[in-house]
Structure 1
Amino acid sequence: MKELHAVNQYKVAFVSLGCAKNLVNTEQMMALCRDAGYEVVANPEGADVAVLNTCGFIDSAKSEAIDNILELSQLKSKGTLGKLLVTGCLSQRYKDELMEEMPEVDGVLGTGSYTDIVPAVESVMEGDQPTFFGDIDHTIEDGARMVSTPAYTAYLKIAEGCDNRCSYCIIPYLRGRYRSRTMESLLAEAKGLADRGVKELIVIAQDITRYGTDLYKKRMLGELLRELCKLPFHWVRLHYLYPDELDDDLIEVIASEPKILKYIDIPLQHINDKLLRAMNRRGTKAEILALLDKLRDRIPGLVLRTSLIAGLPGEGEAEFEELCDFLREARIERAGIFQFSPEEGTPAAVMPDQVDPDTAARRVELLVDLQSQVMDDFNESRLGETLEVLCEGFDPDMGCYAGRSYADSPDVDGKVFFTAAGLVPAGTFVNVRITGTEDGDLMGEIEEA
């Protein structure tokens, strides 16, 4: 790709919403702007251009994006922000409506045009209204990033898009087909992260288990992980592994590589066979239960995370109770519970037997209560254990240090709060003896060497 150099040194601020995969795209845009001569600033107030990278996955994400647009437009009204560019899934999904219905927006870029951010900034500052929508099936995923996570943690996005076509999900329509990045580019990027001091590498994609099936015509995640573990990371964390592709070879890699955390995020969504078929999910309840048993057997100390949807079309009381029984019996330590959102353009949005939203909301509350008990029981079982904890700094509200164990992924899981006699810099690994629990978090004290 031809390097672009900006004529003007504008101040550009970035706001990233949604998932970690979206954050990586934001970091790529930040690097492009930096390399073009712009000043990338942290605060939209005082910036020439604010770039809002949106999520448009479900209703709550769309609402958050709209709220952020309105907040940034207030800065424009006050004269403390120049222009507003909106990128990402919301603009890809509502490319026409955004410019027509929200005059606060000065330009939009779709998910196929992240690498057009520099010409978009130039265009909008010249008074134009850029609308860039490139091919979502052919995007540039390599290139520099301005990593915005803490210095000790970074994401490595190994693929873009999704071919799963779950009936409730809009992602393939917004992100395109599944596209693996080359091993060479990933290992080069990972080495750069390791050289800069990253200690926790989080491997992400919409579905990491299918890595390589398009590019190399075979599953290559295990081989990639073996190579990543040769780099000087302390932890390698995995998000997301789909159950139908989690084979024995990959399980062996996870079980045998000490750097790979014994923490697996497997989005299951439901357990009832009828609903799994309606969702276009591959696999059955029996196969899921057998897989979970195998994982627990092969990987001692394993912590599982999943996502579940309540209120899917066709979910009656019997199907919902089956899901509740599954949560009680499977004892999955981490679970995100979501209410079904009928997303326009997806098959599930027009399926018969739609569940009343109030009923779906009630079911979410019941599942959250069930899962909270499972999590509390798990935390109680850790009392007296000594855990390796990645310190994330001093928490003034708690009056002690905060960090995460292998069982805690950033932003989605709990924390480990601990006391220490001396200074513990952020990014340091320490051993913490667990002495208590509080609202889903663990409390402890550092074990001095």
Structure 2
Amino acid sequence: MAIKVGMVSLGCAKNQVDGEMLMASLKNAGFELSDDAALADVAIVNTCGFIESAKQESIDEILELATLKKEGRIKKLVVTGCLAERYREEIHKELPEVDGVFGIGANGDIAACIESVMEDFTECFPEKEKMPLCGDRELSTPSYFAYLKIAEGCDNRCTYCAIPMIRGGYRSRTMESIEEEARALVENGAKELILIAQDTTRYGIDLYGEYSLAKLLRRLCKIEKLHWLRVLYCYPDAITDELLDTMAEEEKIVKYIDLPLQHASGKILKAMNRRGDRQSLTALMQKIREKIPNVTLRTTLITGFPGETEEDFTELAEFVKDVQFERLGCFAYSQEENTPAAELPDQIDEDVKNHRAELIMDAQMNIMDRLGEKQVGRDIEVLTEGFDRYAECWFGRSAMDAPDIDGKVFFSAEKKPYLGQLVTVHIDEAIDCDLFGTRV
């Protein structure tokens, strides 16, 4: 009888894709897959180890499944992903309930790892570069959209970030392998593909000697049944004119750019080992909006970085007010061990960090409320994602919204849409950053 394996995948979409590849490897090796890790023989926690809150979520999930193991409901408990890679020595010591700890380099050999776990405690940490960049996937997203990872690792070395330490250097996939996977996903029903990497804008620099994201986008836009192509995690330094022209000209590319800027103070950005300042970043946002009319700009910011003064924070708050980002997330700085920023003087009090993040988000909610009101009276295209039984209406996403991080469009419809159908919705009102309307 086949061993039943289930997974809980935490953290970012990049880790989600890794988890999908792990599950496909296990299925191909003859394991039976369970949608619910709590009902499996072997429960795998594909962890995030990026910041403190994500690490805590991973630990909580491990402890919850450890309780089920103690009760005899699952037989073995395995930890993979970023937390396993980052804290390889500590996990089994601190969490003795765990039966296997595998670094990201073991992903390509996960079936043998699980078989070993069935016999005795096993840990395995091959070189990070052994992690497969592509392969079969057991999709965890609905068939109508999928993430497409175009590169792994990072060379940017931001002082607050542990990703290069966890994931290794930047490694691009070939255009051929990406296109092949994209075509298969579209044939499987994907209307939207979302390109992801730690830094998508540096795609190809290692393989082709130049920034090649624009060329890749042009190539993917030729896939016939593909409707939307979305790009996440663009680094501001590597936004080229060629990329902006491509995004403006290609109809299939949604006019949405995710640029994690992190801050606007030149002093703080320099301490983060990032380039630019308020003036240069404001100019870049203006340039993007000029080249791509009606673009949705999304960013993420960090408050409370070591040495951030009230003046630095005020500069950031004014930048947010001036630029009027359509979408924005703000997080309090997380002091991560073994990163250069963790050793900096003038660490900021937790309450101050969190309060500053709250102030930025309060201001952003007001901006988004006003932007939402501007949509009232318009007809917009919406990708249908489900039916809300409480609100008794359908919901989906517009081109302005990425899955799980942005808002929703709720709509009533006389003719029932199917999941994944693109419909036109007339917007009647905007409430709390979500839109409400009627299918045309």
Residue of structure 2 in register with 1:29 after alignment: 22
CA distance in 1, matches of 2:77, 2:113: 11
Normalised to the residue count of structure 2, the TM-score between the two structures is 0.99
Residue of structure 2 in register with 1:68 after alignment: 61
CA distance in 2, matches of 1:44, 1:328: 44
The answer to whether 1:78 aligns with 2:71 is: yes
Letter in 2 for 1:229: C
Residue of structure 1 in register with 2:203 after alignment: 211
| SS in structure 1 at match of 2:330 | strand
Cα-to-partner distance string for 1:320-363 (whole Å, 9 max, x where unaligned):
01111011110001111100011000011110111111111111
Residue of structure 1 in register with 2:187 after alignment: 195
CA distance in 1, matches of 2:102, 2:290: 47
Residue of structure 2 in register with 1:234 after alignment: 227
Where in structure 2 are the equivalents of 1:339-354 lying within 5 Å?
Answer: 339-354=332-347
CA distance in 2, matches of 1:250, 1:106: 46
Q: How many residues align?
A: 439
CA contact (8 A) 2:106 2:130 kept: no
Identical aligned pairs, as a percentage?
52
Residue of structure 2 in register with 1:141 after alignment: 133
CA contact (8 A) 1:391 1:425 kept: yes
Where in structure 2 are the equivalents of 1:316-331 lying within 5 Å?
Answer: 316-331=309-324
Cα-to-partner distance string for 1:210-248 (whole Å, 9 max, x where unaligned):
000001111111111001101121000101111110010
| SS in structure 1 at match of 2:243 | helix
Letter in 2 for 1:413: D
| SS in structure 1 at match of 2:98 | coil
CA contact (8 A) 2:278 2:319 kept: no
Residue of structure 2 in register with 1:103 after alignment: 96
Give unmatched runs, 5+ long, in structure 2: none
Q: CA deviation at 1:97?
A: 0.8
Residue of structure 2 in register with 1:163 after alignment: 155
CA distance in 1, matches of 2:130, 2:267: 35
Q: CA deviation at 1:420?
A: 0.3
CA distance in 2, matches of 1:224, 1:345: 35
Where in structure 2 are the equivalents of 1:171-182 lying within 5 Å?
Answer: 171-182=163-174
Cα-to-partner distance string for 1:283-305 (whole Å, 9 max, x where unaligned):
23222111100111111110110
Cα-to-partner distance string for 1:352-397 (whole Å, 9 max, x where unaligned):
1111111111111111101111111110111111100000021112
Letter in 1 for 2:26: C
CA distance in 1, matches of 2:271, 2:76: 44
Residue of structure 1 in register with 2:142 after alignment: 150
Residue of structure 1 in register with 2:276 after alignment: 283
CA distance in 1, matches of 2:125, 2:376: 53
Moved more, 280-289 or 153-162: 280-289
Residue of structure 1 in register with 2:389 after alignment: 396
The answer to whether 1:332 aligns with 2:325 is: yes
Where in structure 2 are the equivalents of 1:237-276 lying within 5 Å?
Answer: 237-276=230-269
CA distance in 1, matches of 2:321, 2:123: 49
1:16 to 9, 32, 38: 9
CA distance in 2, matches of 1:369, 1:403: 25
Q: CA deviation at 1:203?
A: 0.4
Cα-to-partner distance string for 1:308-330 (whole Å, 9 max, x where unaligned):
00000111100001111011110
Residue of structure 2 in register with 1:5 after alignment: none
CA distance in 2, matches of 1:106, 1:99: 8
1:429 to 415, 422, 430: 422
Moved more, 390-399 or 175-184: 390-399
Residue of structure 2 in register with 1:3 after alignment: none
Q: CA deviation at 1:137?
A: 3.0
CA contact (8 A) 1:387 1:433 kept: yes
1:132 to 124, 130, 135: 124
CA distance in 2, matches of 1:158, 1:44: 28
RMSD, aligned α-carbons: 0.9
Normalised to the residue count of structure 1, the TM-score between the two structures is 0.97
CA distance in 2, matches of 1:93, 1:251: 36
CA contact (8 A) 2:385 2:419 kept: yes
Residue of structure 2 in register with 1:50 after alignment: 43
CA contact (8 A) 1:154 1:202 kept: yes
CA distance in 2, matches of 1:283, 1:215: 27
CA distance in 1, matches of 2:387, 2:310: 46
Give unmatched runs, 5+ long, in structure 1: 1-7
Cα-to-partner distance string for 1:400-435 (whole Å, 9 max, x where unaligned):
000000001000000000000021111000000110
CA distance in 1, matches of 2:358, 2:269: 21
The answer to whether 1:381 aligns with 2:364 is: no
Q: CA deviation at 1:278?
A: 0.3
| SS in structure 2 at match of 1:283 | coil
CA distance in 2, matches of 1:57, 1:143: 24
Q: CA deviation at 1:143?
A: 1.2
CA distance in 2, matches of 1:301, 1:41: 43
